[in-house]
Amino acid sequence: MTSSERSTDRPGVIRATPAELAERIEQLTARNEKLLTTLKEARQQMLLLQEEVDRLGQPPSGYGVLVRTYDDDTVDVFTSGRKMRLNLSPNIDADQLERGQILRLNEALNVVEALGYEGVGEIGTLRELLGDGSRALVVGHTDEERVVHLATALVHTGDGGSATRKLRPGDSLLVDTKAGFALERIPKAEVEDLVLEEVPDVDYEDIGGLRRQIEQIRDAVELPFLHGDLFREYDLRPPKGVLLYGPPGCGKTLIAKAVANSLARKIAESRGEDAREAKSYFLNIKGPELLNKFVGETERHIRLIFQRAREKASEGTPVIVFFDEMDSIFRTRGSGVSSDVETTVVPQLLSEIDGVEGLENVIVIGASNREDMIDPAILRPGRLDVKIKIERPDAESAVDIFSKYLTTDLPLHPDDVAEFGGDAQACVDAMIERVVERMYDESDDNRFLEVTYANGDKEVMYFKDFNSGAMIQNVVDRAKKFAIKEQLDSGRGGLRIGHFLDSILDEFAENEDLPNTTNPDDWARISGKKGERIVYIRTLVTGKGNGAARSIDTESNTGQYL
């Protein structure tokens, strides 16, 4: 019997080729590896579950506020309404801790983790800094005074010791009253709502018809900033303020913005900097919003505004504080009907302009169409030194203003351009000349009012007497709207002289009832004229009839009006 025969006769003997055995071994190996991976994953999940069980089984952590650190790795912490001396975990570096910082405590009241600062609390106002600057006296919303520590985030240590980081009285601070810490300086949102910090994008070239006034304000504002050495050489004090007054809509605000822009660019050029990156601050005060019904709040806002101006000016950057509608805030003291708020608001402004704390690199510009209502103390020399009247535009000024809004860049009707041989500039010039002639014509169609003065004299007023830069812009805008509507209807677009003439008629029609008042003060505000007191007004608008007269004999106001 051969060996092969014997092997086949024995039970349990593997009958397979070597290739089959190798494949079998490979399958078993893969199965073992998969089983091993499954066991490892199960073990990992068990460890994670164990960690979760251990975490959930841990006692709760407490929190405290760091008061002081010591060299022996202990700290004073304010927690649960009391101050305690606690040990630091070896994993925490005491040198990296900051006062006022939140610390996490374990069950044994050991410090195990350092966190950030508390982000909520009460708002307090800094009254003054105490000692070395690490403590401060703050006032709460109920006028309650308290002494608090300043967090490290508010204090830094220099070569000369401890010093505050740009903290000034009046700053708003986030205060943790329980721990006794001031944690953060909060921006003055109430002042942010009242001022607009920016470099305006208005140039003098954008303003038409006010060359003389622009030259006056440039002499008053730009010369002292740009040539301060000459002013000191001649012992000449630069003006502290400028008043722009005149009828509404004639460019007072535009001039103030152009001053800020021009001043920033020229100072940048004098320093060798890029004029496109010129920097100045134009604090545009929203006059009526400055008033507050609570006693003392308006005065406080004025103090904060000038404090902001001084901070910006201390960097060598010019600051312009612009009060629009100045008569609404600083009217003559004693003229109020009920509140007489001006009795305290006006002195506050006076003390800011020429008080003990001077204004360097800061100039105040006020704008008003009722300069007669502003307190005389504000207008005297040494305060608002320069007074510039912005008058209503005459025909020459109106041409200049129209040229700012009506240019060859706008679509012009082909028929109108063809009349001038295809010369667009000649077409525009002719349009402007024709429109201005129509607006300033003293014809019967342009008669508006007949006024009778107290001495019996009469005067006829035309629409041109109530013209303004704002009205001219509105006429151009109306003409553009007419051109758009015509293009939508007929398919042919472009501005025509007829659009402007129709715009003038619509503008006059809308303004027929504008001065619908029997108050001489309102007439003075609207017309911009002064003289004898008006006692009788008669409208002369075509189609209205001659009977539409309004007597104002019953008015009790006296003085120089229209």
Q: Which residues are annotated as a binding site for ATP?
A: 249-254
CA distance 346 to 384: 13
The alpha-helical segments, DSSP class H, found in 367-491 are 376-379, 395-405, 414-418, 424-439, 469-490
Quick check: 269 and 182 in contact, CB under 8 A? no
- Helix 211-226 to helix 252-270 angle, to the nearest 10 degrees? 40
Torsion angle, CA of 298/303/305/308, rounded to 10 degrees?
Answer: -160
Q: Where are the beta strands (DSSP E) in 167-261?
A: 172-176, 181-186, 241-245
Binding residues are: 249-254
Q: List residues bridging with 139 in a β-sheet.
A: 125, 145
CA distance 286 to 289: 6
Quick check: 376 and 333 in contact, CB under 8 A? no
Quick check: 97 and 114 in contact, CB under 8 A? yes
From residue 164, how far is each of 122, 138, 181, 335, 546 by CA, in Å? 21, 15, 15, 45, 74
Q: What single string gives the DSSP state of each residue in 479-527? A: HHHHHHHHHHHHS---B-HHHHHHHHHHHHHHTTTTT----HHHHHHHH
Between strands 319-323 and 281-285, the pairing is: parallel
**b (16+ CB within 10 A) / e for 219-252:** ebbbebbbeeeeeeeeeeebbbbbbbbbbbbbbb
CA distance 97 to 152: 9
Query: What are the backbone dihedrals phi and psi of residue 340, each rounded to the nearest 5 degrees, phi first?
Result: 55, 40
Which tokens hold the place of 279? Answer: 């920097």
Surface-to-core class of residue 498, CB atoms within 10 Å of its CB (0-12 exposed, 13-18 middle, 19+ buried) = middle
